[in-house]
Amino acid sequence: MYNAVIDAPFGKVGIRAGGGALREIVYLPAHTAGVAPDNEIAERAAAQMAHYFDHGDAGFDLPLAPLGSAFQRRVWDGICAIPAGTVVTYGELARRVGTINPRAVGQACGDNPFPLVIPCHRVVSASGLGGFAHHGEEGFYLDVKRWLLAHEALSRPFELQ
């Protein structure tokens, strides 16, 4: 099912890779069994994620499968421009990518197949954290978002960009 499942401070991360590219990253609960990387892309992704878990301002250099619509890719490119330790609102990101619809931006954030690499946790609601990965505003996924934001704040104070 996964080409690797690695430990993360908030649980586990499942990595799917194939065709020379990263295909999906999935946040998983801690009780999920680990899986050693079984290909070069999964191995690179696992190593870069482990480095990120040690250094919240670390970036990623991985080939990504060409997934998503043109609009989603525009939103994901906008997300990649948000520096670690900084957050933007869905509305601000909507303006940056040339739309007036923050809900469409929220949908694209939730559809992101590459969390961490495309750091959608840096996009928040105007009234708080907002949801995460189409899982609402409570539970495991929001706890992951909180952890990621706090982790990145260790490298620099948060600011609304």
Please confirm, yes or no, whether 80 is among the known catalytic residues: no
CA distance 84 to 32: 28
Long-range contacts of 14-18 (CB under 8 A, 24+ apart): 15/42, 15/45, 15/46, 15/49, 16/42, 17/41, 17/42, 17/45, 18/65
Euclidean distance between CA atoms 122 and 151, whole angstroms: 12
Nearest-10 crossing angle of helices 70-80, 102-110: 80
Q: Which of 122, 95, 96 is nearest to 109 (CA)?
A: 122
Other Cβ atoms within 10 Å of 36 Cβ, number = 11
- What is the token pair recorded at 147? 């952890």
From the list 120, 123, 124, 142, the catalytic residue is 120
Catalytic residues: 120
